[in-house]
Amino acid sequence: MLELIQYIVNQFAEDKENVEYEVNEKERVIEIVVTLPSSDMGKVIGKQGKIAKAMRTIVRAATPRGSKRYVVEIKEKGGNAVNRETEEEAADAENADAE
């Protein structure tokens, strides 16, 4: 799944060498943290977070049923700006898993 995130992020990021990826595996969730230079934050997140939301939707669709849920978090390098999955998106993911 990390390769999928890297591929998507590389389509939008200009400063690809300074993009960092971290995978944190927890009990029920695998968290992928993408840390970007501030110059690439807007490009990767997109207007009103549409690209980030689409990325999360693709990851959710690619996740095998019954496996751990993936969470994608986008952070600014050296800053405190963070784009996380909203509670509404998480609830939608839970409902989709139940179906």
Is residue 59 pLDDT above 90, yes or no? yes
- The helix (run of H) or strand (run of E) holding residue 3 is helix 2-12
- Domain map (residue ranges) of the chain: 2-93
The closest alpha carbon to 5, from 99, 50, 90, 70, belongs to 70
- Express each pLDDT in 13-51 by its tens digit: 999 999 999 999 999 999 999 999 999 999 999 999 999
Looking at CATH, the fold of the domain delimited by 2-93 is given as GMP Synthetase; Chain A, domain 3 (3.30.300)
Output 79 or 62, whichever has higher pLDDT.
Answer: 62
| Structure tokens, 89 | 């998106």
Query: What is the pLDDT at residue 82?
Result: 80
Contact yes or no for 99/60 (Cβ under 8 A): no
The model carries a pTM of 0.82
